Amino acid sequence: MTTEPHSLTGRDLTRTDHAPSVPPPGCPAHGRGPGGARRLYGPEAQDLGVLYEELRAEHGAVAPALLHDDVPVWVVLGHGENLHMVRSPAHFTRDSRIWSALQTGEVAPDHPLTPHFAWQPICSYAEGDEHLRLRGAVTGAMSTIDYRGLRRFINRASQALVNRFCEEGRADLVAQFADHLPMAVMCEVLGMADEYNDRIVHAARDMLKGTETAIASNQYIVDALTRLTARRRIQPEDDFTTHLVNHPAGLTDDEVREHLRLVLIAAYEATANLLANVLRVVLTDPRFRAQLNGGQMTVPEAVEQSLWDEPPFSTILGYFAKQDTELGGRRIRKGDALLLGIAPGNVDPRVRPDLSAHMQGNRSHLAFGGGPHECPGQDIGRAIADTGVDALLMRLPDIELDCGEDALRWTGSLASRHLVELPVRFEPRPPQDVTAAPALRQVPRQSPGWEITTSGPQPATPLPQPAAAPPPPRPAAARPVPPEPAAVTQERPGVWRRLLRWWQGE
């Protein structure tokens, strides 16, 4: 590996083996930032996926770039380099307080990306013993979740959402399904089911957009979580919040509230994007849908494929160098900022030379990060996506996209891409009862084992008998006999059906 003599901290982004920093007139490099570095914002970054590939071709696995206000950053594009960074807490940290650009004032207090990197007293930014204390409380509370019961709730919530639009024959699966299901599930998990409504969904989406009302929307969610924390202090329940409150780590009310906010919003945004992405591929890729319908691919495998191709978060800002080090052949100075490149890392040609090849059974994508700060709620996200997509397709098997694929629109940012809408059409159907317990079939009433009789309920449509066949003789008398094994076992579902019922949480 060769190292570069420059550092982002010093703003020297010029490579010694390239052209001068000022390009000649007419050169495509016009419009770049200081030193010819590419900007990750503005007109030059309309398609970040294309930009990342251009950076990879020009610089390799780790490339210099510029954030808003031309603040320098390293973009980690390689799959292995990203894993090395997140798994090396001795060299890299998520504590932005050591960021050189922040210490020197190069990053203004009102920087557009401040919500992404501003330090908070939560496990995502903590290190050492403090990280173990806070992260231990979160993972401990996560471990108490009953995932069979959770899948049952996800299925009922999915059916309830489909009931809202199934009679119309048309729907927007983003606004009416993908944006709602994760919030309904997370409110149930946290123990605040009474807070779930259209308003909290709007507030979560609004604060993520960064609109003029984002601060008020954030406060609405914080107030709800504050009430929940106080309530669980005096009225414990068997839910995530109670286990977080009562964990031996001894979190304060503020720490509980902030970690609830972290779990709620991160799970909501990631899973809403994941649901929309999976459904879009099912509706627009005939081969993908045929594999699902034909059994060559399961819904969980389809979800993993989407996590490779369209991860819910495309990048995370950021990681920061704790000391001078090297990554991807680049010399990284202490205090430099690095961008965790989830989306570009997932398409690294060294691990995916053929992007059209399916990654079935392969979970080595970067969608949930890695190392000490790996997403603790990834199993919840997978459960929501797996169960929700399956429930929707079972209810509406004839669902189709109600517009041209080229008419779909996204709102993009450095952190993620969110599908604006996903209009669909289908044959209208009546709502279903979502309160009844699911069952494969109704179990018939069993007769006592000692009774032998021909009397009892007859089938609604008797089987036709041959004309010449005499009627079966009636038994002369009934006498007690032990039940035959075959008569007992034939009413019991087979192994596959019992496994299916267990998987569906029954």
Q: Give per-residue pLDDT as tens, 310-348.
A: 999 999 998 999 999 999 999 999 999 999 999 999 999
Question: Residue 45: pLDDT band by 50, 70, 90 thresholds?
Answer: confident
**Could you tell me which of 312, 387, 382 has the C-alpha nearest to residue 158?**
387
| Other beta carbons within 10 Å of 360 | 14
Is 60 exceeded by the pLDDT of residue 472? no
Place of tokens 């490579």: 15
Q: Are 247 and 141 in contact (CB under 8 A)?
A: yes
Using 50, 70 and 90 to split pLDDT, how confident is the model at 420? Answer: very high
Q: Which residue has the higher pLDDT, 209 or 168?
A: 168
Question: Is the pLDDT score of 13 beyond 80?
Answer: no
Residue 28 has pLDDT above 90, yes or no: no
pLDDT at res. 413: 83
Percent of the chain with pLDDT over 90: 64
Question: Dihedral of CA 26/32/38/39: which sign?
Answer: negative
Amino acid identity of 479? R
pLDDT at 11 over 50: no
**483 CA to centre of own chain:** 52
Alpha-carbon torsion, ordered 54, 314, 126, 80, to 10 deg? -50
Give the list of residues 6+ apart from residue 21 with CB closer than 8 angstroms, or none. Answer: 13, 14, 34, 35, 36
Report helix, strand or coil for 327. Answer: strand
CA distances from 443 to 265, 278, 446, 459, 466 (A): 43, 36, 9, 15, 30
pLDDT at 397 over 50: yes
Query: pLDDT of 427-455, one tens digit each?
Result: 999 998 887 544 433 434 444 444 434 44
pLDDT of residue 213: 81
Cα 225-230-233 angle, rounded to 5 deg: 125
Task: Report pLDDT for 434.
Answer: 80
Least confident stretch, 92-101, 279-288, 333-342, 418-427: 279-288
Of 210-224, 237-251, 294-308, 349-363, give the range with the top mean pLDDT.
237-251
Check: CB of residue 257 under 8 Å from CB of residue 249: no
Whether pLDDT at 9 is above 60: no
Q: How confident is the model at residue 288 (pLDDT cuts 50, 70, 90)?
A: confident
Q: Please state the three-class secondary structure of 223-247 as a single string.
A: HHHHHHHHHHHHCCCCCHHHHHHCC
Q: Max Cα separation, the chain?
A: 109
- What's the confidence (pLDDT) of residue 492? 52
Please give the mean pLDDT across all residues of the chain: 83
* Torsion over CA: 337, 343, 346, 348 (sign): negative
CA distance 424 to 161: 15
Q: What are residue 359's phi and psi, to 5 degrees?
A: -105, 40
**Residue 278 to residue 389: CA distance in whole angstroms:** 8
Contacts of 488 (CB under 8 A, 6+ apart): none
Position 466 confidence tier, pLDDT thresholds 50, 70, 90: very low
